[in-house]
Amino acid sequence: MRVILLGAPASGKGTQAHAVCDRYKIPQISTGDMLREARRHGTALGLHAADFMTSGQLVPDELVVDLIQERLDRPDTNSGWLLDGFPRTIRQAQIFDQLLEAHSVTLDYVVQLDVPRELLFERAIYRRMDKRTGQIYHLKYNPPPPGAELEHRADDQSGTVLQRLDTYQKMTAALLPYYEAKGLLRRVSGTGKPSEVTARLFAALGNA
């Protein structure tokens, strides 16, 4: 199974990525984690990427794809992979398509978790983290226990949440039609209990 999982902030993408990877015994490849790991290990590509990250610049698309290729060359990807956080633009998708074609690898699915914007906003702004344990709670859906030292993280502040949702919407405005035209796109409702979303997701992947 080779799949790209797309979803807006607070769509539950992280939870569903773990479910897919556990079911199909494939690694989750997050571009954010991959960039941090490459920088930490001090590889040539990692050090190159670090130069951009340190100066606050975006890492060029070609460099990100090179890092992805380096990650996909590891043995644990032989049975497939789940790509999380990439591609974000049409250009990135096209470069990645060229990489897959050069290695005779087929992308099976691109799954988009659909959640109404107002629900995404509610999920995000009511999230709180216990500073002592790092546990994430939700004031409405998963209230914290008495005595928790709660922190409202910057990423979950209303202004930041709206900006992140706007950014994601602009990104997928062109990306989703791109994959739909290729017959790869599967849209899954991300509302309801996580187990219900997981069931829909597996159905979209053909229950293989």
Catalytic residue among 71, 127, 128, 200: 127
Catalytic residue among 2, 71, 88, 128: 88
Q: Which amino acid would we find at residue 10?
A: A
What is the reported pLDDT for 44?
72
102-105 — which CB contacts under 8 Å span 24+ positions?
A: 103/69, 103/72, 105/2, 105/72
Q: Is the predicted pLDDT of residue 16 greater than 80, yes or no? A: yes
Which whole number is the average pLDDT over 128-141? 92
Catalytic residue among 132, 153, 170, 182: 153
Does the domain at residues 2-26+79-204 carry the CATH identifier 3.40.50.300? Answer: yes
pTM for the full predicted model: 0.85
Eight-class DSSP state of 144:
P
**Catalytic site residue 170?**
no
**Catalytic site residue 153?**
yes
DSSP string computed for 57-85: PPPPHHHHHHHHHHHHTSGGGTT-EEEES
**Catalytic site residue 71?**
no
Catalytic residue among 23, 36, 164, 187: 164
pLDDT bucket at 3, cuts 50 / 70 / 90 = very high
Q: Which residues of 13-25 are buried (b: 16+ CB within 10 A; e: fewer)?
A: beebbebbbeebe
Q: Which residue has the tokens 């109404």?
A: 116
Q: What is the mean pLDDT of the chain?
A: 89
**Catalytic site residue 88?**
yes
pLDDT tens figures, 86-129: 898 899 999 999 999 998 999 999 999 999 999 999 999 999 99
What are the tokens at 140? 């409405």
Whether the CB-CB separation of 126 and 139 falls below 8 Å is answered with yes
Catalytic residue among 2, 13, 39, 200: 13
